[in-house]
C-alpha cells in the first residue's frame, strides 16, 4: 500500500498529541478522529488488519482533512502525516472505495485537462479556474502586468493535476502533469507566472515527484514583479497577512512576506497562534466542493479571531482562501495581488 512509505509517521504520530491543536478540522468539529494522532492510529489499523477500507467513517475522515501540512511544518521530527493522508487516499481509490462524490469530482477535473494560450512571446500567465472566477483579482493582476510593461500570453483551461493528486488519483494526476508539461513546451513558454499557490505547488513539487520535467521557469507574480523592480507609489499600510499553507508549510517559501515588505506594509499579528492554518482547507484544494459546510465552519473560526472583522484588511496569497473568508467569514479579505495593485 502507499501508506507503507510513511511507516515512521504511522508508528510515531499515533502516540503523539503535540500537534493536536494545529488540526483545523479538529478545532471546529471537536472530534479526536480529526487529529493526526487518531488518523495515524487508523492507518496502523489498516496495516494490522483491525481496520479496513469498508469503514465509511474512516474514509469520510480522510476526505475531511484540510491538508494544511501545519503539523508537518511544526513537528520537531517532521513526520509527514500530510503525505500519509494523501497516500491513504490513493490506497482508497485503488481499492475502489472512493466515495461517489469524490469519483464524480475526479472525473470532472480529469476531463477538464485541456488548455489554450493566446498572444506571442515566451512569458505566460496561467489563469487557473479559481483565479479566473474572481474578476477583482483578474483585474488587479492585469493592472500589475501593465504597470510592469509586460504583456504575457494567457493560458486558460482546467486541472493541471493538483486536484487529481489530492483526491488520490495518482496515475491520472501524473498523466495530466505530463500533458500540461508537453503543452508548455509546445507553446514555447520560458517563464510561467502563477497567481494561485496550489498551481505553483503542483508545478514545483508534484511534477518532480511524478518524474515530470517542467520545461520553463515557474514564478509567483510577486516574485516576478520584485525581479522586475516595479515601483509602487503608495505604502500598503496596516494589514493582517495570513500565512499560506502551500507557501509556508509545503515549500517553506517566504515570498508573500518579502512582497509585503516591498510594499511597506505594516503587518499585524493575527489570531492567537501563528502556527495555525487559517486557510480554510486550501491544501485540500476542493474541500469547498466536497464539504462546503466544513469550509464555512473553518472561515467562521478565522473570523472569530479577527481584531475587528468589519475593518481589518486581511491579506491572503490564494483566491481560494479569499473566497472562503469573504463568503463565509464575512471578512474584508483581499489577495496579495489586489493589495499590490492598490499601491500603484
Every domain range in the chain assigned CATH 3.40.50: 111-226, 231-342
> Using an 8 Å Cβ cutoff, are 189 and 160 in contact?
no
Question: What's the pLDDT at 83?
Answer: 96
Per-residue pLDDT of the chain (344 residues; tens, 9 = 90+): 999 999 999 999 999 989 989 999 999 999 999 999 999 999 999 999 988 999 999 999 999 999 999 999 999 999 999 999 999 999 999 999 999 999 999 999 999 999 999 999 999 999 999 999 999 999 999 999 999 999 999 999 999 999 999 999 999 999 999 999 999 999 999 999 999 999 999 999 999 999 999 999 999 999 999 999 999 999 999 999 999 999 999 999 889 999 999 999 999 999 888 899 999 999 999 999 999 999 999 999 999 999 999 999 999 999 999 999 999 999 999 999 999 999 99
The C-alpha atoms of residue 131 and residue 317 are separated, in whole angstroms, by 11
- Output the pTM of the full model: 0.96
Question: What's the pLDDT at 274?
Answer: 87
- Among left, alpha and beta (phi > 0; psi -120 to 50; other), residue 280 is left
Question: What's the pLDDT at 141?
Answer: 98
The C-alpha atoms of residue 192 and residue 40 are separated, in whole angstroms, by 38
Provide the CATH topology of domain 231-342. Rossmann fold (3.40.50)
Question: What's the pLDDT at 186?
Answer: 98
The C-alpha atoms of residue 109 and residue 88 are separated, in whole angstroms, by 20
The angle subtended at Cα 261 by Cα 223 and Cα 129, nearest 5°, is 40
Provide the CATH topology of domain 111-226. Rossmann fold (3.40.50)
Residue 327's CB is within 10 A of a number of other CB atoms, namely 16
The C-alpha atoms of residue 240 and residue 210 are separated, in whole angstroms, by 36
Amino acid at each position: 500500500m502507499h501508506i507503507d512509505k510513511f511507516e515512521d509517521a504511522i508508528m510515531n504520530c499515533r502516540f503523539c498529541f503535540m500537534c493536536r491543536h494545529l488540526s483545523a478540522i479538529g478545532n471546529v468539529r471537536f472530534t479526536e478522529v480529526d487529529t493526526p494522532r487518531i488518523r495515524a492510529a487508523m492507518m496502523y489499523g489498516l496495516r494490522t488488519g483491525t481496520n479496513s477500507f469498508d469503514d465509511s467513517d474512516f474514509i469520510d475522515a480522510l476526505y475531511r482533512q484540510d491538508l494544511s501540512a501545519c503539523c508537518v511544518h511544526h513537528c520537531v521530527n517532521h513526520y509527514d502525516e500530510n503525505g500519509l493522508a494523501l497516500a491513504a487516499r490513493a490506497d482508497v481509490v485503488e481499492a475502489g472505495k472512493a466515495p461517489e462524490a469524490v469519483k464524480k469530482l475526479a472525473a470532472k477535473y480529469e476531463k477538464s485537462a485541456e488548455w489554450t494560450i493566446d498572444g506571442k512571446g515566451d512569458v505566460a500567465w496561467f489563469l487557473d479556474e479559481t483565479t479566473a472566477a474572481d474578476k477583482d483579482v483578474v483585474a488587479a493582476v492585469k493592472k500589475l502586468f501593465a504597470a510592469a510593461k509586460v504583456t504575457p500570453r494567457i493560458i486558460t483551461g482546467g486541472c493541471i493535476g493538483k486536484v487529481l493528486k489530492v483526491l488520490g488519483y495518482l496515475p491520472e494526476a501524473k498523466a495530466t502533469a505530463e500533458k500540461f508539461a508537453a503543452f508548455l513546451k509546445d507553446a514555447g513558454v520560458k517563464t510561467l507566472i502563477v497567481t494561485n499557490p496550489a498551481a505553483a505547488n503542483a508545478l514545483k513539487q508534484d511534477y518532480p515527484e511524478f518524474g515530470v520535467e517542467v520545461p520553463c521557469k515557474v514564478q509567483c507574480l510577486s516574485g516576478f514583479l520584485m525581479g522586475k523592480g516595479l515601483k509602487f507609489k503608495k505604502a500598503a499600510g496596516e494589514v493582517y497577512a495570513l500565512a499560506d499553507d502551500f507557501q509556508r508549510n509545503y515549500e517553506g517559501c517566504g515570498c508573500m512576506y518579502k512582497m509585503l515588505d516591498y510594499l511597506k506594509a505594516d503587518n499585524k499579528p493575527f489570531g492567537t497562534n501563528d502556527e495555525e492554518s487559517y486557510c480554510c482547507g486550501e491544501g485540500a484544494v476542493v474541500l469547498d466542493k466536497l464539504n462546503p459546510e466544513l469550509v464555512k465552519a473553518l472561515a467562521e473560526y478565522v473570523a472569530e479571531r479577527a481584531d475587528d472583522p468589519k475593518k481589518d484588511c486581511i491579506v491572503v496569497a490564494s483566491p481560494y482562501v479569499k473566497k472562503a473568508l469573504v463568503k463565509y467569514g464575512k471578512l474584508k479579505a483581499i489577495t496579495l495581488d489586489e493589495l499590490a495593485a492598490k499601491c500603484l
